[in-house]
Chain A
């Protein structure tokens, strides 16, 4: 297991989130969502003292994983190799939305589902964090330009300084999802996000999207 310990902002406690070696994208995506939840205190808030094994299955692919909750620890492993206490079936393209009735321990399942769906930060905060996290990726443009469409119209943002720019424009909530890893950039293009830059830059931005979504 590869372990990361995330300090909880509000609780002052630590939650260790571990994934197996050579983890699948699904395991990584789950772990990244839980890390986001842990960073804001959301995870501790919803998980409380929950303990047990929760099977998580994708509704449209064979992807499956098991979240094992313990005292201050969360382990995520591929497949379902134990008899789980609860099983949830989720849409990984819709931020782990539950798509069918849970099986087993409903309270545990609800806690796990909530932990997988931490509230998104404001798009501007998410964009700044995204930009910081992806600086080391080869070929990443110097400047991220954002046109976020919110309830009050278009808000503009610029992050970074330099000669090369990349623009993302679209609904503020969807952009926040891309920047946090809750949503996938290539999929978001089909959902209305628009970009301005070269094909090579799109390729690099995809790597950046995967960095925050899967930690790869």
Chain B
């Protein structure tokens, strides 16, 4: 991502960045001198960053692993390949969390992706991934949005929804042009942006690259989109459903290469390797739902005929299925994993995709028959399963998934299941309304995160 090997000469601060489990970039700004003293050994962060919710409450309800205690320190070690000049005077670098004994923090999102890529590499494969980032823009400033409780805001660019529409008003276009200009400055490669279905909504596609770099770029793109919105006096939200209308997702596209050759390509349809990958993704989909649909609002997207998948299905060129296989071209053959919400942690999203793909390959799984019909509204005949439609159902599925336990680790699964139970409990007992289409509690909690 970066040619920098050390902070820029004019930098007065370096921003250390990494996501915790919720997916926003967390970190702190340090002086160049402090950075020089800690860039190899790491910077201390309290373990509590993996135990706070989006309301800054300590998450309770599970047994801590041995590296967590009464607010122990863990080390964030910067990955210097991610060092960029964020703006004049400020550099930024993304890091990973490590324990003092040199082991990666087992639930560190970035380290989890790194570990799964190493497992793929052991089979001789490299992965290429891309993401479609959906977000909704509002005319009001974030201060105004806060004052209104993030409700009744005005979609930027017009109040009608229209996919691919080029006649959005100039304020919407100015925003997106400013965003991609910033991405260019930061070296984050994007491919396209367009109007999406809901009023104020956009889709910004990051270009295919290696998964770790993609996650870094994805997390930073959210940061960029927030900063540009602030500068222009607008607001952007990555909530899975920022208004009671359309939801928004984050489709992940993935292919595997060996010696630079796309292994998902075959002349006559999905390659055998692609079918293994599909099988693994479907075998783990119910449990993975908990991770890629992390918040209460995530599940409000799951409505037939509105775009998101609702069934554990796949199909060649079938966008109503959860996994779409794009076949027949040596360059473009890939899988599109359509389940994640826009509120997902980028690293965890790639981790569960890689885990499913690895499980399919290593266990030599066979995929179910592909769905050539519409995959929404299918009869409840026991052949096709519905995607878990509540946080509690998805959490139970993850808890019981032996494949995800094997590939993501028991510690992660136990941690994540407990953290979602806490979230579910907070929603129900602290003011969330399960009977509303979108409750004020959700807007307050999720609008600005991740």
Contacts and interface: CB of A to CB of B under 8 A. Distances in A.
Interface of A: 22, 24-26, 60-64, 78-79, 92, 137-139, 186, 198-200, 202-204, 206-207, 210, 214, 216
A64 to B, nearest CB: 7
B70 A198 contact: yes
Nearest to B63: A139
Contact of B70 (A25, A199, A210, A214): A199
Contact of B428 (A26, A60, A186): A26
Given A199-B69, A200-B68, A61 B425 contact: no
10 contacts: A22-B390, A25-B424, A61-B431, A137-B63, A198-B70, A199-B64, A200-B63, A203-B62, A206-B60, A207-B418
Contacts of A26: 428-429
A173 to B, nearest CB: 22
Interface stretch (B107-115, B170-178, B434-442): B434-442
B428 A25 contact: yes
B245 interface: no
Chain B binding surface SS class: loop
Contacts of B60: 186, 202-203, 206-207
Report, as a range, how many residues of chain B touch the other chain.
20 to 34
A202 B433 CA distance: 28
Contact of B393 (A22, A63, A137): A22
B432 interface: yes
Interface in B69-109: 69-71
A199 B71 contact: yes
Nearest to A206: B60
B444 interface: no
Given A199-B70, A203-B61, A203-B62, 13 more contacts: A25-B424, A26-B428, A61-B428, A61-B429, A62-B431, A62-B435, A63-B429, A79-B434, A92-B429, A138-B63, A200-B63, A200-B64, A210-B61
Q: Which 9 A-B pairs have the closest CB atoms?
A: A139-B63, A200-B64, A62-B433, A206-B60, A203-B60, A25-B428, A138-B63, A207-B61, A199-B70
Given A62-B436, A207-B61, A200 B430 contact: no
Given A78-B434, A199-B71, A63 B64 contact: no
Select the residue from B59, B69, B418, B428 with max chain A CB neighbours within 10 A. Answer: B428
Contacts of A60: 431
Interface string B25-68: 00000000000000000000000000000000011111110001
B392 interface: yes
B70 A206 contact: no
Contacts of A78: 434
A137 B68 CA distance: 18
B251 interface: no
Nearest to B396: A22
Interface in B282-335: none
Select the residue from A61, A78, A79 with max chain B CB neighbours within 10 A. Answer: A61
Contacts of B428: 24-26, 61, 63
B427 to A, nearest CB: 9
Contact of B425 (A138, A198, A204, A210): A210
B168 interface: no
A203 B60 CA distance: 4
A109 to B, nearest CB: 22
Interface string B174-208: 00000000000000000000000000000000000
Contacts of B433: 62
Contacts of B393: 22
A25 B425 contact: yes
Nearest to B47: A199
A95 B139 CA distance: 45
A22 B428 CA distance: 13
B434 to A, nearest CB: 7
B41 to A, nearest CB: 26
Contacts of B70: 198-199
B421 interface: yes
A61 B439 CA distance: 11
Interface in B375-413: 390, 392-393
B390 A207 contact: no
Contacts of A139: 62-64
Nearest to A186: B60
